[in-house]
Structure 1
Amino acid sequence: MSTATVNQNRKELFGHPVGLFVLFFTEMWERFSYYGMRGILVLYMATSATAIDPGLGWSNKDAIWLYGWYTMLVYVASIPGGWIADKFLGQKKTVMLGGLLLCFGHGILAIPQNWAFFTGLILIILGVGGLKPNISTMVGGLYKEGDIRRDSGFTIFYIGINIGAFLASITVGLVAYYYGWHYGFGLAGIGMVLGQIVFIWGQKFLKGVGEFTGGSEASEEERLAAKRPLNTIEKDRVVVLLISFLIVVVFWGAFEQAGGLMNLYTDAKVDRTTGWSSLAEIPAAVFQSLNAGYIIIFGTVIGGFWIWWKKKGRESSSLFKMAVGTIIMGLGYVFMMFASQEASAETFGKAAMIWIFLAYLFHTIGELCTSPVALSFITKLAPLKYASIMMGVYFAATGFGNKLAGSIGESAQLEPFEGTMVVSKQEVLPFMSKDSMEIKNLDKKIVDIYDYPINQDKNFSIKSKVYPENGKVVFKEYETGTDLNMLFELSSGEDSNTAELMTTLTENNVTASNPYHAKLVFEKDKDKAQIIGNKGDGKDYGVSFVLEEQQSEQEYATFKWLVIFTVAFGLLLILFLKKLKKLTHGAEDHEHEMLEQEPYELADPSIND
């Protein structure tokens, strides 16, 4: 694999090679497709299968579980993607192949069928694995070794990523909200097609970048470098890269709560009302645009700050930036702790939006100090023969971080208590009110009606006080105090967690005068809801709930430990910074401004033992 093979000055735009902007727009649209789909993925899985725009009907816990595995595999696939580029195709052709797989994957995901959902996810995993590590390595191939513009070039590239993410989070989120989940998935797919078109069109600006070292385009020097064993300096640099990947796992494990835990938290416990008649409530998925929006605003500012900081002769190594970024990102969860406290200050309360804005701001500043810097760091240290696969390992580390994030988010979600509604529709009607809702008529057109949710097989919920009394759990309607125990029976048997409910209430000294609270969610069995003749019969309803106080404590504890661990980890890195820098053998010691851009090769192959 090579990142540059043509000895010529490259055309420049705004002080950077034109090829940077080809890769910028390609990645922008690819990330539009990925983040647009990711922004609605968990919400789609967790949406009731009987809703007007049905989701998969999974629990929050199960949705985050799949989200964690999916986001991990998306990035772990970068290892075989990098290996294929290094050994067989080169980066450029592997990016082309990955882009085609992504076009098919997103297109299939727009089909409203279960087989299409899982098939689409698999193709997207394979496509990102081929595209993501190799397009990033190609960015490094545009710059000569020691060029101080490299970090800022990656920051510009990173801004492109986040323009795509910003546009996707708003447009895909709104399209999914107003027109349906699969229209949102389809819009994400259109973005990927545009990215593929840009990459094909821009090939003339990428000549000599990302070619296969075993092919005819490679120079004799590159072919020899690909066969030569690693020397001592290169081995040390690989070691420090592998250590830096541990930073990546920790950083993304904390950061990537955005699509899972924070997405669900925003949906359930943040006051998203605006007072605007045209948009009374902001869809939760739209808040995913904050991170990308902040990057667009502050990306060049943070990149310029570090260049200024370095020129002042102050510590500005990549490892230092990554440690500082991890600390700043972790501090963002302090605001989520404030949000959790505000929401739990009153029963069934919600937090103000300002906490989400502040949390994402700190997460973004931390990301700008870490992620684009890590990409650049790899292109500085990776040996030529392993350039793509090292970038693949980096993205695999990102994937493991995403899986860690999924596990953390999953642990923050309590297993719901479950039961079965045991009364007729007439007996439960007094506990609900008529509401405006959308349904599909016999012509499968969406129309607005005003009715009781149960008449349309819709979900409904009842706010309840919960406390133990005389050896049983008592449920009382929150405002009126009406007995709710007659409406449903808690599940029993080996899989039941009813005994756990009584234990929790007793151990926390819950009483009638100091009760816990729960929102009892009544949901019709999704298979029975498909039978037209059963519509509105009020039968086959299950009940599920979590204790609000217990859930709030779990979320607060999760946010607190994220702060403690990330800050402690970042400080530990700074403590060992000098020892880690020695392993780089001065790879960042001679960066300077260059008058003209020349081709660059990763890890100078002429270095001897």
Structure 2
Amino acid sequence: MSSDAPVGARPPAGKTFFGHPRALSTLFLTEMWERFSFYGMRAILVLYLTAAVADGGLDLGESSANAVYGTYNAMVYLMALPGGWVADRLIGARRSVLWGGVVIAAGHYVMAIPTGWSVFAGMALIVLGTGLLKPNISTMVGDLYERDSPRRDAGFSIFYMGINLGAFIAPLITGFLGERINWHLGFGAAAVGMTFGVLQYVLGRRNLGDAGARPADPLLGADRRRALTRIGVATVILLAVLLVLLVAGWFTVDTVVNLLTVVTVLVTVGYFARILTDREISGTERSRMKAYVWLFLFAASFWLIYDQAGSVLNIFAADRTDRSLGGFTFPASWLQSVNPILIIIGAPLAAALWLKLGHRVSTPTKFAVGLVLNGLSFVLMAAAAQAAVGGDLVSPLWLVAVYAIQVAGELSLSPVGLSATTKLAPVKYASQMLGLWFLATAVGDAIGGQVARLADTWSQPVYFLTFGLASVVLGLAAVMFTRQIRHLMAGIH
């Protein structure tokens, strides 16, 4: 999942898109529509799961709904690892993105079917499709440029805007349709969005040149047959486990969620163990990986809180927020659009700030700032929850302020973490390290989904204050150990 162009990739010539290769417009729009479908569905998922059957929902308890949401997010990021492998070794990034988009669209169409089972079947398809599309479309953006092209970072910045544009628009459409008309109509709107993405990707593929056309390191002959056999065996084993759970009566939402949480953590531990015990990496590389373990834990802790925006905070928006505006009560899910618009505004400012500060602020310190800000957002959320005790509705500006603080924290940690991942990566694992970075989100979301169960049993002020202060304390502890972590980073800032 490296964004470096593989040897032999040639950036396509011809018309340009804001001074960049024309193919960037194709990938920009594909990613925009994919994020439209992802964030559009995510904005109403927990609200649908917890809505009463009479209101068209599943009437799932908040505890289970929050866990399902967290686990779903975790699986999306976890599948980026095998998705990157499939592209690198079997079919190439271009076909991976195409088939990923098709499977994602199919998943949303399944969710649009007005039955109880459709939401879980649809989510499973979306997870598989996103694993194929998400990491590999970024690789293709990198393929459009020479390795040392000065336009490369600018190209990724434009691409990043597509992500947040789709995330901003989606809740406004799916939220209105889902909350005001029919939940499955909202899911259907996400399906239509992904369909647009697939169609324009197919129509624009002539602009892509060699980008993603071939696997970077293809498996051939016996190796390919062996790999496909292993995939087939693993699939059969997975289906057998699911069948056993079904026959034994253990195939429940909570059982599957708990099992997937354990799998996510075990995969992460195994991945780190494999790298740290590899005798082919140098002592300096091993030291840097030990530093990366700490950064990984900080990042996972960050996402544990941050990604509750679509679950615990979304339910708070629906139940505890006064959403009346000039006689119109806007859907709770509309508040999910606050985050991406703040990122669009704040990303250039954050980039300029880090450029000005240079090496005076180290990577561990930036992570610490992200953790502290994330924690403070939940401390503020505790005050909002306290104001809502007794059934009073609070201003939505509370949530806007919370999201603003969280975005500031994200811009301190997320882009910095991506950069640190590429710099700290052992040479042997350079192409796999971005997948490991995605695992930080997966672990945070998986554990966060379990933690969010407590929001249904603890008082909300206590819940938010407890985890907010925990994040602040962790951030302060990160500051205290900055020198030791920088020493392990062995010259990397």
Q: Does 1:122 align with 2:134?
A: no
- Once the two structures are TM-superposed, the CA of residue 6 in structure 1 deviates from its matched residue by 4.0
What's 2:259 paired with? Answer: none
* Alignment-derived partner of residue 57 in structure 1: 59
Asked if 2 retains the 8 angstrom alpha-carbon contact of 1:48 and 1:57, the reply is yes
Query: Is residue 83 from structure 1 mapped to residue 89 from structure 2 by the alignment?
Result: no
Name the CA distance, whole Å, in 2 between partners of 1:131 and 1:45: 26
Structure 2 equivalent of residue 161 of structure 1: 163
Give the structure 2 partner of residue 440 of structure 1: none
**1:26 partner letter:** T
Shift of 1:232: 4.4
2:207 aligns to what? 204
CA contact (8 A) 2:11 2:211 kept: no
* The 10-residue stretch of structure 1 (405-414 or 10-19) with the greater mean CA deviation from structure 2: 10-19
Aligned match of 1:274? 325
Alignment match, 1:243: 294
Structure 1 residue matching 2:388: 3-state secondary structure? helix
CA spacing shift, 1:198–1:248, aligned 2, 3 Å: farther
Picking from 33, 37, 53, the partner of 1:33 is 37
Amino acid at match of 2:387: E
1:358, 1:158 → 2: CA distance?
23
DSSP-derived class of the 1:126 partner = helix
Structure-1 separation of matches of 2:163 and 2:316: 25
Contact persistence 1:91–1:135 (CA under 8 A):
yes
The Cα of 1:75 is off from its aligned counterpart by 1.7
Contact 2:424/2:492, CA 8 A, preserved across alignment: yes
User: In the alignment, what sits opposite 2:303?
Assistant: 252
SS at match of 1:114: coil
Structure whose residues are more often strand by fraction: 1
- Pick closer, same or farther for the CA change 1:165–1:587 going to 2, 3 Å: same
Shift, 1:410, TM fit: 1.3
TM-score by length of 1: 0.64
What is the DSSP-based 3-state SS (H/G/I as helix, E as strand, rest coil) of the residue aligned with 2:117?
helix
User: For residues 533-556 of structure 1, what are the alpha-carbon distances to aligned partners after superposition, in whole Å with 9 as ceiling and x for unaligned?
Assistant: xxxxxxxxxxxxxxxxxx6xx211
Residue from 449, 454, 459 that aligns with 1:411: 454
- SS of the equivalent of 2:215 reads coil
- Alignment partner of 1:50: what SS? helix
Structure 1 residues 186, 298: CA separation in 2 closer, same or farther (over 3 Å shift)?
Answer: same
Cα 1:40/1:169, change in 2 over 3 Å? same
**347, 365, 369: which is aligned to 1:299?**
347
- Choose the corresponding residue for 2:360, options 314, 321, 333: 314
Q: Does 1:374 align with 2:417?
A: yes
What secondary structure does 2:310 align onto? Answer: coil
Larger Rg: 1
Q: Secondary structure at the match of 2:58?
A: coil
Q: Which structure 2 residues correspond to residues 404-483 of structure 1 after superposition, within 5 A?
A: 404-414=447-457
The residue that corresponds to 1:393 in the other structure is 436
- Alignment correspondent of 2:478: 573
User: What SS does the corresponding residue of 2:325 show, helix, strand or coil?
Assistant: strand
Give 1:110 shift.
0.9
- Judged with a 3 Å threshold, the aligned counterparts in structure 2 of structure 1 residues 98 and 582 are, in CA distance, closer, same or farther, namely farther
Structure 1 44/270 Cα, relative in aligned 2: closer, same or farther at 3 Å?
same
In the alignment, the residues of structure 1 paired with residue 164 and residue 294 of structure 2 have an alpha-carbon distance, to the nearest angstrom, of 27
Q: Which moved more, 1:255-264 or 1:205-214?
A: 205-214
User: If each structure's helix is expressed as a fraction of its own residues, which one has the higher value?
Assistant: 2
Out of 314, 328, 333, the residue aligned to residue 378 of structure 2 is 333
Seen in structure 2, the aligned counterparts of structure 1 residues 413 and 162 have a Cα distance that, compared at 3 Å, is same
CA distance in structure 2 between the aligned counterparts of 1:383 and 1:17, rounded to whole angstroms: 31
Relative to the length of structure 2, the TM-score reads 0.78
- The equivalent residue for 2:388 is 343
Match of residue 466 from structure 2: 561
Q: What's the offset of the Cα at 1:335?
A: 2.2
> How far off is 1:373 after superposition?
2.9
**C-alpha distance in structure 2 between counterparts of 1:94 and 1:325, whole Å:** 33
Q: How far apart are the structure 1 equivalents of 2:140 and 2:479?
A: 30
Corresponding residue for 1:528?
none
Return closer, same or farther for 1:577/1:138 CA change in 2, 3 Å cut-off: farther
Distance in structure 2 (CA, Å) of the matches to 1:396 and 1:50 = 38
AA paired with 1:352? Answer: S
Note if contact 2:111-2:184 (Cα within 8 Å) is conserved in structure 1.
Answer: yes
Distance 1:151 1:7, change over 3 A: closer
**AA partner of residue 177 (structure 2):** V
The equivalent position to 1:98 in structure 2, one of 97, 100, 116, is: 100
For the structure 1 residues 91 and 262, does the alpha-carbon distance in structure 2 shift closer, same or farther, using more than 3 Å as the test?
same
Q: Secondary structure at the match of 1:56?
A: coil
Shift of 1:109: 1.1
Structure 1 residue 179: Cα displacement: 2.4
Cα shift at 1:206: 6.0
Structure 1 portions without partners, runs of 5+: 217-227, 415-550, 589-609
Alignment identity in percent? 38
The equivalent of 2:404 in structure 1 is 361
Q: Are residues 88 and 586 of structure 1, via their aligned partners in 2, closer, same or farther at CA, if it must alter by over 3 Å?
A: farther
Matching residue within 48, 52, 59 for 1:48: 52
Q: Which runs of 5+ in 2 are unaligned?
A: 220-278
Deviation track 1:179-217 (CA, whole Å, cap 9, x = no partner) reads: 21111101111221222234441563463458523349x
117, 134, 137: which one aligns with 2:136 = 134
